[in-house]
Amino acid sequence: MTENIFDVIIGRGVLKWDAVWRVLGWLADPAEGHGLGSTFCDCFTAYCFGESTPSLEIKIEYKVGMLDTGEGKWVDMLLAYPSMSSPKYLTLIDDISLKSPNDRRKLENLRIYADMASQKFAEATRSIVAVTDAREATRFAKLNYAMEELSHTRFRLLPLHTIGTWIHESSNQGTPIVQAFSHWARGL
């Protein structure tokens, strides 16, 4: 019997990543009714940008660019501060599943996103964050090696477990639904 609504909405084992992006976008907006205020936004932007920012612009399913073949390349989530039109910081976020930590297609997409962002947002400090349902980075040796070669974009892994811990350890743990999300994420 499922006791946590996030087991139903997002899943466990096989995650519905589009739901993850919606939840993270909601949590990252201090004006939303999650009861965290700016606590989550502070942690999230510090992790993604290297420093905490008071706000950010969030795009879900953002078209980073086009390949020569005419195929569009869409990153799952994009964070910009202070704005998309003139970002000082820019983070492209995608998922890396525990079940396929070194998927060649995923590695190539992350590299393409980084290259496209470096051309489109040349003045911004750029990073790629791969959100994962794994706890240890050791599963991602090929990914880490491939991303180390990027001189223009910083790369970081962000376990969902870490996100749940940020909420759990904050002085204001938010509404009961936010606490349920934290519990779900820490259980991965």
Cα-based distances in Å from 118 to 59, 87, 91, 145: 17, 12, 11, 19
User: What are the φ and ψ backbone dihedral angles of 40, each rounded to 5 degrees?
Assistant: -70, -45
User: Do the bridges between strand 125-132 and strand 154-159 make them parallel or antiparallel, or are there none, so unpaired?
Assistant: parallel
What is the chain's pLDDT, residue by residue, as a tens digit (188 residues)? Answer: 567 889 989 998 789 999 999 999 999 999 999 999 999 999 999 999 999 998 899 999 999 999 999 999 999 999 999 999 999 999 999 999 888 877 888 889 999 999 999 999 999 999 999 999 998 877 788 888 878 878 889 999 999 999 999 999 998 889 999 999 999 999 99
Query: Which residue stretches of the chain are H helix?
Result: 5-9, 17-27, 39-49, 104-120, 141-148, 160-169, 176-186
Q: Which pLDDT value is given to residue 175?
A: 95
User: What are the φ and ψ backbone dihedral angles of 118, each rounded to 5 degrees?
Assistant: -65, -30
The parent domain of residue 68 ranges over: 5-186
Q: For position 110, which CATH number holds? A: 3.40.91
Q: Which pLDDT value is given to residue 150?
A: 80
The total domain count for the chain is 1
Q: Which pLDDT value is given to residue 44?
A: 98
Q: Which pLDDT value is given to residue 1?
A: 52
pTM: 0.93
